[in-house]
Amino acid sequence: MSTETVIKVGMADLKATVGRNGILRTTGLGSCIGLTLHDAHAGVSGMAHIMLPASEIARERPFNVAKYADTAVPELIRIMKELGAETGRLVAKMAGGAQMFAFVASEAMRIGPRNAEAVKKMLELYRIPLVAEDTGENFGRTIELECATGILVVRSVHQGVKRI
C-alpha cells in the first residue's frame, strides 16, 4: 500500500503541488485532455483536466479558466511559478483527446482532437516541450503524475497501463 498523498484533479479543474512524494490524479478523460507540467529541479508538478479548446465559447460568467485550453495552460503555469517553478524548466505530458463519437458530422464534434491541438498550440506559445503523450483513439483514460519522477501513468480498459 502506497503512503503517497493523492491529489485529485476534477473535471475542469487544475492543481499544482510542491514536493516529491505526491501523486496528481484525474479520471474520466474521454475527449478531455489531462495535461501535466513538471519542473524536476524545483520539485513542482501540476495537472489540468481540460474540457474544451477555447474560452470564446464560454457562456457562463465568470467562466471557469480550468475548463478551456487557452486559459487553463496559462493559469497552471502562473500557479506553478508562484510555487517556485520556472517556465524554461517545465516539461509537459498529456493524455486523452479521444474521439468518443463514431460518427462525426461536423468539425464541432471533433472535440477530442481539437482539445489536443489547442493544448499543443498553448505549449508552443510558452515554449514548453511536450515530451510524451497518449492521445486520440476512442477510449477513456485515467492518469496519475508521479511527482517524484515526472512519470505519467496512463490507465485504460483497452490498453492497460502505460508509463510515459
Catalytic residues: 32
Nearest CA to 90 out of 138, 133, 135, 43 is that of 43
CA–CA separation, 67 vs 121, rounded Å? Answer: 16
Interacting residues of 71 by C-beta distance below 8 A, sequence separation 6+: 55, 63, 65
Half-sphere exposure of 15 (CA within 13 A, CB side): 17
